[in-house]
Structures are given as structure tokens and as C-alpha cells.
Amino acid sequence: MLSLPFVPAGRQPLYLQLYQYIRSEAEAGHLVSGEKLPSKRQLAKQLKLSVVTVEGAYSQLVAEGYLESRDRSGYYVLPVAVRPELAAQSPVPNVPPLQDGERHYRFDFATSGGDPSSFPFSTWAKLSREVLSSRDQALLSAAHPQGVPELREAIVRHLYQFRGIRVSPEQVIVGAGSEFLSTLLVQLLGNQGGYALEDPGYGKIARIFQANGARVCPIPLDGQGLRVDRLEESGARVVHITPSHHFPLGTVMPISRRIQLLEWAGQAPDRYIIEDDYDSEFRFSGRPIPALQGLDREGRVIYLNTFAKSLAPSLRIGYMVLPVPLLERYRKELLFYSSTVPSFEQYTLALFMERGHLDRHIARTRSRYQARYAALLRAAEDSGLSRMCSFSGGEAGLHLLMTVKSPRSQPELTRLAAEAGIRLYPLDTYYLCELSKDRFCTYVMGYGKMSEGDLQDVFKLLSTIWLF
């Protein structure tokens, strides 16, 4: 009978020490494939260990494939094709953290998100507690793949009230942000035939379509928005647009162009329009611009929106409304996907909307943003900079365009601002095609996070460094 000269040492459990000993003997080739080991009882006696200890070691070795247990015969060594380098413990790879690389700016006109300080924290916390204490089981079971019904119903009411859109909760799909939903859309619509985009536009959307294997067709704009006449020649089958407030130019697509766009979609089967309504809640004057979705009679418009602007980007809750024929395709092909938003967040948001908190929050922040918009124009006036700057595209949303007339070049103006601690975003960087780039010096100014004092400081600084 094979003898195993095992000597316990150290503090680890005995079964573990014995397991490691036999394992290393096998890996070192001291135990040969096919060799029979002593029975559990024999080895226990031989090593003065309990049978339970030997059993623990043997069963782990069997589970990991070092030994084989043959019925009514005993334990046999299995072949181990261990490469020598496997014996060593693998070190933790030394991965450099993501380079922050960005210098710190005192003032940043990035367009992402609104003002976090306006988030109604105590209300949210109160509703969270309410959800946690009242919905135990519902919170833990998997949510409906399209999102919990309460939230979809609240979204439908919101859409009717804010956008005049009438849809059924069955058409709504809740998901972890508009980026995720765009990924899902490529899966639903297929990546053949080209995805048209506004140029300039929201740069990420091109990257998302490309990462999902779709060809991207940048389409230029004119004063009425996307040039629908260019769609046909582009060969695109799907078009992504921001018709109610173009990002970043602020253009509102007039009714005639909207109808032209819908007609384009109707001219071939399987043409679709993705209407990204990213900041429609923040129109400052007049009624909201009617959504394209409401004009669609042929089931070609997919309405997409999120709560990133109206509440907080970190919530990661977006939604889309599918026209009925696409909904049927989604239910056939993609309904197997689980909901990507935690049920807890979904119930909390539903309650937040049902009780009118979202309406009140939007009304409050809208007037706050409107005041900031006015403060920006005033600060430019006060600083004397308005002599060289003109502003446009600010009737809605949380950004506007500032065009500077200066003998200095745009890179120089941008650099001077950066040196003074002001981060500006040239319109150039929103273009996909080199050729159509802005010939002037225009900046996209996201002012959602700026206080009125900040805006005064920024324009005082800019007038000092740009005028002299």
C-alpha cells in the first residue's frame, strides 16, 4: 500500500493541509496517474488523523480532478498536466489607474447633467424608506423585463402632461440609461443599412452605434435642423435626432421638416426615427415643442428620454416608447433580457412621480435655470464682453452657444480661458466630419451647474484676458 509521509504543520485545518500535500505531490509527479491511494480508513490510521479529515481532503481532490473515486474500489490518481508555472501564486497585475490627466478647472461649462444641489434629497430619502419598508417581496423578485408597471404608468402620465404624447404603458421600456437603450435598439433594429446622425451632435451616440457594429452616416444641418434631403443618398435606414432642441445648436425642427422626415421613414419598410428628447422639460418660454412621436402614424418613431437632466445622471434610469409593430418584435426577440434597473430605484421613482414631486422639481429647476440663463447674458453685458460675443440656442435646455468675434484664433482663446481656470468647449469638437466644421469661434456653454456669482466671475475674467 502506498505510504504518504504527511506531517501536519501550521495552523490551517488538517484536511486542508492534507489536501495541499497530496495535490502538490500529484503536481510534482510523485504520485503517478493510475496509482491507487490508501482507503480513507487506512490513511486515517496511518497518519493518526480522523476519517472525517481524510474524507475532507479526498473529496476536495476528487472535486478538483486530482483523484478519481471508483465505486467499491477506492481512490486513484488522475493525470495532471500541470505546467510548472502554475505552482506559483499569480501576482496581482500592476494596472495603472485611469489617468485623470485632466487639469482641474475652477469653472467648467460641460453640458452633462444639471445642478446636483437642486436634487430633492430629503424627499427621495423619505420615499426610499417607504419603499424599503412596504415592498419587501416585490423588491427582491425579478422586475418585469420592461420595468415595473407602476413606473411605466407614471411615465405615461408624465409624457401626456409634458409632451402631449398618448401611449400605453405596454409600449414603455425602462432601462439603465439612454446609452444602454441605444445598444438595445441596435439589437432590435439590426445593424445593417446605416445609422444617420446629426452632425454636429452628441458624440457618444456615434460611438455606441459603431461599438454595436452599425455604420454611422453623419448628416449636416441647416437652419431647420437635419437635412432630410441628404438622408436618401446616405443610404441610412435609421436616423437619430434631437428635433425639439438640437444638441448642441439648439435648433428646433419646424413642422414642415418634421413631416418631411416622417415621409422619408414611410418611403421604405424598416426605416426608423429615434427621437432623443433629452432635455424637453426645460423649455423656458411658450408651450413645449410637440414631440415627433405624436405625429407618427406609421409606427416609425421611437421616443427616447431619461431622468438624467430632470433628476440626476447617476440615477441611470431611461426609457423608450416603441411603436406597436416594433414592440411586437421586441417581445418576440428581446424580452428574455432582465430589467437593467434595480427594482428599488424603479419603485422609488414611481412614487416620486405619482405624488407630484417630479412636476414640482421640474418647475423649480426650470425657473432656476432660466434665472441662470438670464444671469449669463447679464454677466456678459456687465463685463463688456457682449461687444465681441453673441449668444443663441438658449431658449431651452441647459446650454447655449456663444460665438466670439476676435482677431485671436479659437485655440488661442480657448487656451487663454483654460489658463484662467475656465474650461470651454469649442463647437468644433461636436462635429464628426472635418469639412463641415465651424468656421467661426463658437463655444457650447453648459451653465446648469454655474451659480450667478460664478457667471459674473467668469465673464469678468474672460473680458480681461480676451479684450486686452
- Which has the closest alpha carbon to 319: 337, 305, 340? 305
Q: Which window, 15-23, 267-275, 400-408, 440-448, contacts a second copy (CB under 8 A)? A: 15-23
Least Å distance, CB 199 to a second copy, is 18
Out of 24, 64, 69, 329, which residue is the one contacting a second copy (CB under 8 A)? Answer: 64
Site string for a second copy, 16-45 (x = CB under 8 A): x--x--------------------------
**Burial group, residue 409, by CB count within 10 angstroms (0-12, 13-18, 19+):** exposed
User: DSSP 3-state assignment of 93?
Assistant: coil
Site string for a second copy, 336-375 (x = CB under 8 A): xxxxxxxxxx------------------------------
Nearer to a second copy, 39 or 260 (CB): 260
Site string for a second copy, 210-229 (x = CB under 8 A): -xxx----------x-----
Find the binding residues for a second copy in span 305-334 (CB under 8 A).
Answer: 312-317, 324, 327, 331, 333-334
Least Å distance, CB 244 to a second copy, is 9
Nearer to a second copy, 3 or 133 (CB): 133
Out of 2, 268, 335, 467, which residue is the one contacting a second copy (CB under 8 A)? Answer: 335
Least Å distance, CB 294 to a second copy, is 6
The DSSP output letter for 270 is: T
Site string for a second copy, 127-166 (x = CB under 8 A): -xx--xx--xx-xxxxxx-x-------------------x
**CA of 195: how far to CAs of 189, 198, 211, 263, in Å?**
10, 10, 12, 17
Nearer to a second copy, 56 or 201 (CB): 56
Least Å distance, CB 459 to a second copy, is 25
Out of 25, 35, 153, 179, which residue is the one contacting a second copy (CB under 8 A)? Answer: 179
**Burial group, residue 214, by CB count within 10 angstroms (0-12, 13-18, 19+):** buried
Those residues whose C-beta lies under 8 Å from the C-beta of residue 47, and which sit 6 or more positions away, are 4, 6, 18, 54
Using CA atoms in the order 69, 71, 73, 79, what is the torsion angle rounded to 10 degrees? -30
Q: State the number of binding residues for a second copy (CB under 8 A).
A: 109
C-alpha cell at 46: 496511518
Report whether the peptide linkage leading into residue 120 is cis, meaning its omega lies within 30 degrees of zero.
Answer: no
Site string for a second copy, 264-303 (x = CB under 8 A): ---------------------xxx-xx---xxxx------
Evaluate whether 185 touches 321 at the Cβ level (below 8 Å): no
Nearer to a second copy, 324 or 467 (CB): 324
Least Å distance, CB 112 to a second copy, is 7
Nearer to a second copy, 146 or 463 (CB): 146
Buried b (16+ CB within 10 A) or exposed e, 44-69: bebbebeeebbebbbbbbeeeebbee
Evaluate whether 449 touches 113 at the Cβ level (below 8 Å): yes
Site string for a second copy, 78-117 (x = CB under 8 A): xxxxxx-xx--xxxxxxxxxx-------------xx--xx
Evaluate whether 217 touches 210 at the Cβ level (below 8 Å): no
Cα distance between residue 155 and residue 168, in whole Å? 10
**CA of 387: how far to CAs of 37, 368, 377, 410, in Å?**
93, 26, 12, 17
Nearer to a second copy, 337 or 378 (CB): 337
Least Å distance, CB 57 to a second copy, is 8
Q: Which window, 69-77, 125-133, 227-235, 271-279, contacts a second copy (CB under 8 A)? A: 125-133
Least Å distance, CB 409 to a second copy, is 28
Least Å distance, CB 424 to a second copy, is 20
Evaluate whether 359 touches 345 at the Cβ level (below 8 Å): no
Nearer to a second copy, 14 or 465 (CB): 14
- Which has the closest alpha carbon to 174: 345, 323, 318? 318
Nearer to a second copy, 220 or 254 (CB): 254
Those residues whose C-beta lies under 8 Å from the C-beta of residue 150, and which sit 6 or more positions away, are 346, 347, 350, 351, 354
Find the binding residues for a second copy in span 383-442 (CB under 8 A).
Answer: 395
Find the binding residues for a second copy in span 245-264 (CB under 8 A).
Answer: 252-260
Nearer to a second copy, 46 or 284 (CB): 284
Least Å distance, CB 30 to a second copy, is 16
C-alpha cell at 120: 430633492
Supply the DSSP string of 205-242, one letter for each residue: HHHHHHHTT--EEEEEEETTEE-THHHHHHT-SEEEE-
User: In 334-356, which ranges are continuous DSSP H helix?
Assistant: 343-354
- Which has the closest alpha carbon to 260: 219, 232, 289? 232
